[in-house]
Structure 1
Amino acid sequence: MAELILGQVLRYEGNPMEEGADAARHSARGGVLVEGGLIRAVGEADDLRRAHPQARVTDCGTHLLSAGFVDAHAHYPQTAIIASWGKRLIDWLNAYTFPEEMRFSDPAHAAEIAGRYFDLTLSNGTTTVCSYCTIHPESVEAFFAEARARGLRAFAGKTCMDRDTAPEGLRDSAQSAHDDSKRLLERWHGVDRLSYVITPRFSPTSTPEQLAALGALWAENPSCLMQTHLSEQTDEIAWVKSLYPQARDYLDTYEAHGLLGPGALFGHAIHLEPRERDRLKEVDASLIHCPTSNTFIGSGLFDMDGLSREGHRIGLATDTGGGSSFSMLRTMAAAYEVAQLRHRALHPAELWWLATQGSARALRAGDRIGNLAPGMEADIIAVDLASTPAIAQRAGRAGDLWEALFPTIMMGDDRAVAAVWAGGRRLEQPA
């Protein structure tokens, strides 16, 4: 039976980073018709009621209906170590990340954390995640099994590391990385709403042989995405240069091994050389902005204004657990603050687009998720724009949608997420 969800409606007919806020469309009393897991119609509430009198009606009042948030870069195995104190990237990996990731050889632990992770992300309105797992196939199995059970569109892959810069308990080999990834890919890629992502952690923890093996696997499976890290911190870049002395720059360590092209997702991309910016734009790779992580670990300030003006494909992400929140609202707030430090005031329409359609486009899934339009998958959230007294009093003075929405972007949390639908099915909110 069709369901007609009523409320305020926010959707996009273009890219506000390029076209301005007029690319967004807002209906103060609109609706979304859902049937068979897909959005069948979007329009004014009264028109949809007349056209579909048999549909079951869910009236969300003045809540804002939007596409669910899309988190384009996360590490679900780091769920339990989020908000760990006081380290730069390399020390942070050694002190917190690697010891925690060693635990994921245990299927029971992997399953427990996967369940907790999706409870947390869904409670914050995130309906799609692209996650790194660990070197253990068990971590991938747990993530995909949990996502499938909840009917989510999800992206993930086995993290690959074979260089002695990673601890012994977290190293595979060039051959096993290829073979494990291929086996997992064949098992999960394209099953229901799941997509496998080829995942070298980053150049410092992979040998050239492993990068080449994964590049070959990607060439054999071009429908997959490839995710890794790029130019997150200046000391990381110096480390890469010492390990790859023949490379022209950090990006070249991937490019030389077949790991640059459409469908490549590069997390962070803060300290890019001019050649790197040109090549990334030329091949239409995706850059994933992780603002809470970049400030929490002291990495630097992403050049949102310059890169968007150049026409780069940009997504937004929590980067949990280096990022300090599971919330894409908090991530939007951090993106606003980082851009302000680089003298660019991102409009609320741009911030919301980055967290929905922008991230979906970065994942090459913008035709399926990240917007409210006929034919799109019905991943929908209802957002309370007066979820706390502080937000309510500010929104009460709003003269338009953007003034009403911006306080929720800057101060909102999981209390703002009133309801979540994934694939057209309303999910019970975790207590």
Structure 2
Amino acid sequence: MPLTRKAYRAAILHSLADPAEVGIEASYEYFEDGLLVIENGRISALGHAGDLLARLPADIDITHYQDALITPGLIDTHIHLPQTGMVGAYGEQLLDWLNTYTFPCESQFADKAHAEEVADVFIKELLRNGTTTALVFGSVHPQSVNAFFEAAEKLDLRMIAGKVMMDRNAPDYLTDTAESSYQQSKALIERWHGKGRLHYAVTPRFAPTSTPEQLALAGQLLGEYPDLYMQTHISENKQEIEWVKALFPERDGYLDVYDHYKLLGERSVFAHGVHLCDEECARLAETGSAVAFCPTSNLFLGSGLFNLPMAEKHKLNVGLGTDVGGGTSFSLLQTLNEAYKVMQLQGARLSPFKSLYLATLGGARALRLEDRIGTLQPGTDADFIVLDYNATPLLSYRLKQANNIAETLFVLMTLGDDRTVLQTYAAGNRVHQR
């Protein structure tokens, strides 16, 4: 294969560490006039344009962006493929919302042509919004995951997904069995896990919709394939928590259900965690598990406010999730806009650099992929986005008043959305152009 080498010149910003651990100044690297050099899908150099340009071969293709910021591709640690068609569904909290809107919408994925159509829309929306990696729930139907992975593989995207396991407390047309969910998941793992940049996640929907037998088999799958992911929901809604207590009276609480069935671990991501207690945060951190913070969804469904400072206290890995369709936007910029407000309501501040961390390196750490994505360090995958300072008239006007990169970044996160993303690159290939 011929060596493909390209360079991109613009303002460049990426996270180096969690600001909660190292302080804001040491948490990021910013080049006002930076250069990013890509070779064969990976980043080979990053630095000041003035330092790097002289070392590059004369014939290298350099793309120069004016009034733009290059950052790592954004990482969505919790989203539902089959709920794309019901985003913004009115009037319910979690449990009624599932029965009224979600389950009927997901039933359509029995049809592979429907699954393929939605997978195409879904991936285009992710890329249009600058999301280059997502941890994705399919439906209970294996074809939902096959359709998604087939579409992601064509673009060489780094994506993680799994078939929902759900054998009770859901409509008959949408349940599997403990055994069928195990066999179908196993077949999907054998076909897709580790193929290109794709990974599989064992996906019990949440404790109330899985029997003990099914949860035990989910844990068995994780034991059989040591580098698998596991994704589910936890402590999103107070009614849900009471329901879990009634269904599993022998366990010490919601997290203990998952712990008992060996579902905690370094590649386990629990969505929401709005109502976790200190002990549960400590246990999640101890096992290397992560939580996906989903502010737009938590506000839209009236679930509550995620306690990020408590998670930080326990050094718990936290990523950001849009949770479409409970969340109302594919945009992680808009999700950070809501995250800031969730912190404000609790008397806490969310700095723009912590926000950048959550949407990039924090998500990569939650997924144990920080050696491949989430930063622009040389050697990592060339997954990056170009944010346009002139995307809208208001954004353009407001950014002219910004005095530093902190203010610029914060304005991008409060006024920015899909229009702000000029281009999205995955493995060095342009996969979206506005």
1:102 corresponds, among 107, 124, 130, to 107
Aligned counterparts, 1:17-416, within 5 A: 17-22=20-25, 23-53=27-57, 54-163=59-168, 165-416=169-420
Unaligned runs of 5+ in 2: none
Determine if the alignment matches structure 1 residue 5 to structure 2 residue 31. no
Letter in 2 for 1:72: T
**Cα drift, residue 276 of structure 1:** 1.4
TM-score, structure 1 as length reference: 0.98
Aligned to 1:424: 428
CA contact (8 A) 1:42 1:372 kept: yes
**Cα drift, residue 272 of structure 1:** 1.1
Q: Distance in 2 between matches of 1:117 and 1:124?
A: 11
CA contact (8 A) 1:332 1:409 kept: yes
Letter in 1 for 2:122: Y
Letter in 1 for 2:433: Q
**Deviation per CA, 1:142-162, whole angstroms, max 9, x where unpaired?**
000011111110000000000
**Cα drift, residue 428 of structure 1:** 3.9
State the identity as a percent: 45
**Cα drift, residue 14 of structure 1:** 2.0
**Cα drift, residue 222 of structure 1:** 1.6
Letter in 2 for 1:84: A
CA contact (8 A) 1:266 1:288 kept: yes
Q: Distance in 1 between matches of 2:380 and 2:131?
A: 16
Aligned length: 429
CA contact (8 A) 2:233 2:271 kept: yes
CA contact (8 A) 1:396 1:404 kept: no
**Moved segments of 4+, more than 4 Å:** none
**Deviation per CA, 1:201-227, whole angstroms, max 9, x where unpaired?**
000000000000110111111201100
Any idea what SS the aligned residue of 2:20 has?
helix
**Cα drift, residue 175 of structure 1:** 0.6
Any idea what SS the aligned residue of 1:382 has?
strand
Q: Distance in 2 between matches of 1:119 and 1:270?
A: 30
**Cα drift, residue 400 of structure 1:** 0.6
CA RMSD after TM alignment? 1.0
Q: Distance in 2 between matches of 1:152 and 1:377?
A: 10
**Cα drift, residue 72 of structure 1:** 0.5
**Cα drift, residue 386 of structure 1:** 3.1
CA contact (8 A) 1:240 1:250 kept: yes
Any idea what SS the aligned residue of 2:43 has?
strand
**Cα drift, residue 271 of structure 1:** 0.6
CA contact (8 A) 2:282 2:316 kept: no
**Cα drift, residue 13 of structure 1:** 2.4
Q: Distance in 2 between matches of 1:278 and 1:305?
A: 13
Letter in 2 for 1:305: P
Q: Distance in 1 between matches of 2:266 and 2:378?
A: 26
Aligned to 2:18: 15
Give the direction of change, closer, same or farther, for the CA distance of 1:73–1:428 in structure 2 (3 Å limit): closer
**Deviation per CA, 1:344-363, whole angstroms, max 9, x where unpaired?**
11110110110011111111
Q: Distance in 2 between matches of 1:374 and 1:246?
A: 50
**Cα drift, residue 343 of structure 1:** 1.1
CA contact (8 A) 1:122 1:429 kept: no
**Deviation per CA, 1:25-46, whole angstroms, max 9, x where unpaired?**
1111001000110000001112
Q: Distance in 2 between matches of 1:428 and 1:371?
A: 19
Unaligned runs of 5+ in 1: none
Q: Distance in 1 between matches of 2:241 and 2:401?
A: 47
**Deviation per CA, 1:54-76, whole angstroms, max 9, x where unpaired?**
32111112310110100010001
